Structure 1
Amino acid sequence: MGHAAGSASALAQFNAMGLGGWVLVDLALNWGGWALAAALKTERFYDLVGSLSFVTLTIGSLALAGPITARKLLVSCMVGLWAGRLGSYLVARVHKVGKDSRFDEVKHQPAMFLFYWTMQALWVFITLTPVLLINTATVAKPLRWFDAPGVCLWASGLMLEAVADWQKDQWRAKPQNKGEQQGEGGRFITTGLWGISRHPNYLGEMMLWWGVFFTCVAGFSKPQHLASVASPLFVMLLLRYVSGVPILERQADQRWGSEAEYQAYKASTPVLVPDLSRLFKSDPSL
Structure 2
Amino acid sequence: MLTEALVALLAAAVVMGSTAAVSKRRDRVADVDVAWGLSFVAIAIVLALVWPDVHSWLLALLVVVWGGRLATHIARRSRGHGEDPRYEKMLGGPGWHAGAGKVLLRVFGTQALVSWIISFPLVVGAAHDVRWWPVVWVGVVVWATGLFFEVAGDAQLEAYKAKPRESRPKILDTGLWAWTRHPNYFGDACVWWGLWVAGALSLGWVPGLATIFAPAAMTFFIRNVTGARLLEKTMSQREGWAEYAERVPLFFPRPPRR
**Cα–Cα, structure 1 residues 263 and 197, in superposed 2: closer, same or farther, change >3 Å?**
same
> Could you tell me whether the CA contact under 8 Å between 1:82 and 1:158 is conserved in 2?
yes
Q: For 1:101 and 1:230, how far apart are their aligned partners in 2?
A: 30
Q: How does 1:47-126 map to 2 (within 5 A)?
A: 47-65=33-51, 68-104=52-88, 105-109=94-98, 110-114=100-104, 115-126=106-117
Query: Gaps (5+ residues) in structure 2?
Result: 89-93
**Cα–Cα, structure 1 residues 224 and 207, in superposed 2: closer, same or farther, change >3 Å?**
closer
Q: SS in structure 2 opposite 1:55?
A: helix
Please tell me the root mean square deviation across aligned C-alpha atoms, in Å.
2.6
Q: For 1:142 and 1:221, how far apart are their aligned partners in 2?
A: 6
Q: For 2:205 and 2:181, how far apart are their aligned partners in 1?
A: 39
| Match in the other structure for 1:17 | 3
Give TM-score, length-normalised by structure 2: 0.86
Q: For 1:153 and 1:225, how far apart are their aligned partners in 2?
A: 16
| Match in the other structure for 2:221 | 238
Q: How does 1:1-286 map to 2 (within 5 A)?
A: 17-43=3-29, 45-65=31-51, 68-104=52-88, 105-109=94-98, 110-114=100-104, 115-135=106-126, 137=127, 139-141=128-130, 144-176=133-165, 187-220=170-203, 223=206, 226-253=209-236, 255-256=237-238, 259=239, 261-276=240-255, 278=256, 284-285=257-258
Q: For 2:35 and 2:151, how far apart are their aligned partners in 1?
A: 20
**Cα–Cα, structure 1 residues 264 and 186, in superposed 2: closer, same or farther, change >3 Å?**
closer
Q: For 1:206 and 1:227, how far apart are their aligned partners in 2?
A: 18
Q: Which has the larger radius of gyration?
A: 1
Q: For 1:154 and 1:164, how far apart are their aligned partners in 2?
A: 15
Moved more, 102-111 or 239-248: 102-111
| Match in the other structure for 2:91 | none
| Deviation beyond 6 Å, 4+ runs, structure 1 | none
Q: Percent identity?
A: 25
Question: Aligned pair count?
Answer: 251
Q: SS in structure 2 opposite 1:53?
A: helix
Give TM-score, length-normalised by structure 1: 0.78
> Could you tell me whether the CA contact under 8 Å between 1:70 and 1:142 is conserved in 2?
no
